[in-house]
Amino acid sequence: MYQIKRTFIAIACAVGLSGVATAGPVILGGDDLTDHGSRSDAGANLEGWLYIEKAVSNVLSNQTRAGTLTHDIVALGSAALAPGVYTSGNAGGAIASAANVLGKTVLFVDGNAGITSFFADLASGAVNPGMLWIAGNGADNDIDSDDGSALTAAAAAINTFGASGGGIMSHGSGSDVYGWLSALLPGLSNVNGCSSGGATLTAAGQAAFPGLSNMNIDSTAGPCHSNFTGDFGGLTTLAFDGATPARSYIIGGGAGTVILCGGENQPPCNPSTNNVPEPGSLPLVALAGLALLGAGLRRRRH
């Protein structure tokens, strides 16, 4: 199980924050592993689809949404296939197969109007999923520009969902997929460029995806297309590509996320305390570092 936790409340108290909020797990990839996987005749996920299964299992095991879930997974940008159909090279087939193996439910939401309506329902409480899964744009039945514009417009709602303990997972590259990212993590960018040959899971990635091998995320499975640069906040690298120097192409953070003061859906900063970050100076989804591995958490300071 992905145990990414850090004793951060003491730090919050030391700088005099008025409170903290705990958010859910996040896994972001510059991959199109939706396109590079399949399902065996025996019903097992293979190659990239096994990565999706492991990642979804991790996220759902660590989400902390309050109340009864109406759906385990909301697949944004994919239409549902017929029951029991898991077409290779199809993003909807990939998430359906992962959910089937895990015994989880999926609500498929496709198109600008559908995505916009879903986030309205989420705000009203009509739906209460455990995680949002963004289909990426490297396969059939995935994110297009209409979907992307709706996701970008929903950046604040995605932030609210994550801050409430909901899990977030995404594949892909470019503004259609990650147009919402800078609104949540102002210092983080998804940029073109990725070499899957020689890609490797980090120690954190191995902990996050037990039973997964490099062959499930490297060129044996298929190419990757983008990487992440800038200030990761509390996110950490789960997989490096094979370039020199290596680039972070799958990143994430687990349960126990602490969101710092001053941003939307975050506790206010204490203006009388020295060295308190200004509102907006920290990522809105700043995740706790890997205490298990001793990794340090980088914080943006005013």
Which helix or strand (DSSP H or E) is residue 194 part of?
none
For residue 29, CA distances in Å to 60, 137, 249, 258, 266 come to 17, 11, 6, 21, 26
Q: Which of 28-32, 49-53, 158-162 has the lowest mean pLDDT?
A: 158-162
- Sequence-separated (6 or more) residues with CB below 8 Å from residue 103: none
Q: To which residue do tokens 């990414």 refer?
A: 4
CA angle 86, 117, 188 (to 5 degrees): 75
Residues comprising the chain, all counted = 302
Q: Which of 6-20, 40-54, 237-251, 254-268 has the lowest mean pLDDT?
A: 6-20
pLDDT over 60 at 21, yes or no: no
- Sequence-separated (6 or more) residues with CB below 8 Å from residue 1: 58, 61, 62, 210
Share of the chain above pLDDT 70, in %: 76
Do residues 47 and 38 touch, judged by C-beta distance below 8 A? Answer: yes
270-302 per-position pLDDT tens digit: 444 333 333 232 232 333 333 233 333 333 333
Phi-psi region of 14 (alpha: psi -120 to 50; beta: other; left: phi over 0): alpha
Highest mean pLDDT pick, 90-99, 162-171, 207-216, 252-261: 90-99
Do residues 157 and 164 touch, judged by C-beta distance below 8 A? Answer: no
Predicted TM-score (pTM) of the model is 0.80
pLDDT over 80 at 239, yes or no: yes
For residue 58, with 0-12 CB atoms within 10 Å meaning exposed, 13-18 middle and 19 or more buried, which class applies?
Answer: buried
Q: Which residues pair with 29 in a beta bridge?
A: 250
What per-residue string of b and e applies to 106-129 under the rule 16 or more CB within 10 Å gives b?
A: bbbbbebebbbebbeebeeeebbb
